[in-house]
Amino acid sequence: MTGPIDRRRVLWGGLALALPGIARGAAPALPIPPGNRLAFDVVRNGSKIGMHVLDFAQAGDSLTVRIAVDLAVGIGPLTLFRYTHRAVETWNRGEVQSINATTDHDGTKHRLTMARCDGGFRVVGDKGSYLAPPETLPATHWNRRMLDGPMVNTETGALMHPAIADHGVETVKTASAKPLRADHFSLSGDVRLETWYDRSPRWVGLGFAGADGSMIRYLLTGT
């Protein structure tokens, strides 16, 4: 990787959103991936800078999703930017119950909690506490119902209502030599990014521009 990088600049504009519709029902099916795991190589301007991994554990009507993001940008042995994110989501009967997340954004610490309560969700984030609507989902990407909005940024706790555009089916790159056919959606407004889902609908890709002009892409592994 070449060229100067200002480590105090944010390299991406919404990684943990920390970083995306299916009609809601009493007990909607969730897109649990094969092998109960989703893993992505995170690539910046063509160079791998880390991974984003989600592990799924089911027990009866309950589902726990554990999320780990580890990224580092540097030149040679010098690390110029580091990002770590950990989150645990709990679901019951197809509906989210809570999420707890911690983030270290290059030395700036964030903590987010979101828990179901009467009237919706109690969210506590960077700017304090508020009540989110009952249809809110955490912006952890794996569940395409997130596109139905609103969504909570799992780094800052901000409530977001991005505009969604459906670009139809196209071919998306993966970390292997095997591309996939997937539905392409773009989000704009509160956050700007591109996301892809196969027909499962499994989350299979993500892309966005960093504040420094770099291109960040998520490439699905193990396809």
- Give the pLDDT confidence of 128-153 residue by residue, as tens digits: 999 999 999 999 999 999 999 899 99
Total domains in the chain come to 1
Give the whole-angstrom CA distance, residue 109 versus residue 82.
12
SS3 label, residue 82? strand
Sheet containing strand 137-138, edge to edge, reads 137-138, 151-152, 159-160
Position 12 in a domain: no
pLDDT per residue as tens digits for the range 90-104: 999 999 999 999 999
pTM, rounded to two decimals: 0.87
Q: Is 92 left (phi over 0), alpha (psi -120 to 50) or beta?
A: beta
Residue 217 has pLDDT above 60, yes or no: yes
- Is residue 45 within 8 A of residue 215, CB to CB? The reply is yes
Q: Which domain holds residue 161?
A: 37-220
Give the whole-angstrom CA distance, residue 223 versus residue 221.
6
- The predicted pLDDT at position 42 comes to 98
Position 8 in a domain: no
Residue 12 has pLDDT above 70, yes or no: no
Position 173 in a domain: yes
Position 31 in a domain: no
Position 176 in a domain: yes
Q: What is the mean pLDDT of the chain?
A: 89
Position 22 in a domain: no
Position 7 in a domain: no
- The predicted pLDDT at position 27 comes to 54
Give the whole-angstrom CA distance, residue 31 versus residue 24.
13
- The predicted pLDDT at position 32 comes to 96
212: confidence class by pLDDT, cuts 50, 70, 90: confident
